[in-house]
Amino acid sequence: MKRHIPNLVTGLNLLSGCVAILFAVQGHYVGAALFVGIGVFFDFFDGLLARKLNVQSNLGIQLDSLADLVTSGVVPGLVMYGLISKALGNQGIFVIDEGWNATVNWVGVKIIPIALVGFLITLSSAYRLAKFNLDEDQQSYFKGLPTPANTLLILSIPLILHFQFSITVSNLFSNVWFLIGVTFLSSYLLNSDIKLFALKFKSWSFKSNITRYLFLLASVVLLIVFHFIAIPIIIILYILVSIFTQKQIS
């Protein structure tokens, strides 16, 4: 019976992702972010439970990736599609060709073709998850940005716009070229060869986990001080710390 407990938690991750999709397709990105956060929480604990209960299995690994593809792949792609679509109607001083803003009607569904570039995040996430399952080296570290971290990065955009609105933030995050640039950067980071340390504790020793403890402490401080703006800062910090501690990652 206990072998099914981690898979049940993974199922809750998948369910959270499905609910997040319902919010995202209706443009309620704060709600989508909330359920993605719940899904990421379950995603962290399913693997932890599997290790603690000693019930790790290939089925669990595949199920975990399928759940991640929805919560941390489909949802951020939908959100980015929506953000780019909205930005095309509010270009400000950064005007692009009006043809890019064309809407295609197909069986009663309106689609903005250029905004489909947002789903590059979904495709890149799927490719990253498939590679991860086949890569036996990524046990104590990650190669490329993990999909949950990338999802938090993407969803921080609507959260910042909603809770920490300012003219400067609005002009930046509502700019089509900025959003497309973030999409390509995100897709690259997901499948890059950069080694990033994993937040998996083999022991509670401070000496052997000093990088993890200091990073978590810095993240908490940044969140308290800067709130949602801290999320992209934390992701950048995560990458920089990993680069400067490459020799310790194995």
| 190 pLDDT more than 90 | yes
Answer whether residue 118 is part of any domain. Answer: yes
Answer whether residue 64 is part of any domain. Answer: no
Answer whether residue 240 is part of any domain. Answer: yes
33-37, 43-47, 155-159, 200-204, range with the lowest pLDDT: 200-204
Above pLDDT 90, what percent of the chain? 58
Answer whether residue 110 is part of any domain. Answer: yes
Answer whether residue 189 is part of any domain. Answer: yes
What is the model's pTM?
A: 0.88
Q: What is the pLDDT of residue 202?
A: 61
Answer whether residue 136 is part of any domain. Answer: yes
| 93 pLDDT more than 50 | no
Q: Contact at 8 Å (CB) between 110 and 75? A: no
Total tally of structural domains belonging to the chain: 1
Which value, in Å, is the radius of gyration of the alpha carbons in the chain? Answer: 19
Answer whether residue 28 is part of any domain. Answer: no
Cα distances from 77 to residues 183, 191, 201, 246, in angstroms, run 9, 16, 31, 30
Cα–Cα distance, 250 to 246 (Å, whole number) = 8
| 185 pLDDT more than 80 | yes
Q: What is the pLDDT of residue 106?
A: 66
Answer whether residue 173 is part of any domain. Answer: yes
Task: State which residues form the domain around 233.
Answer: 71-248
Q: Contact at 8 Å (CB) between 138 and 167? A: no
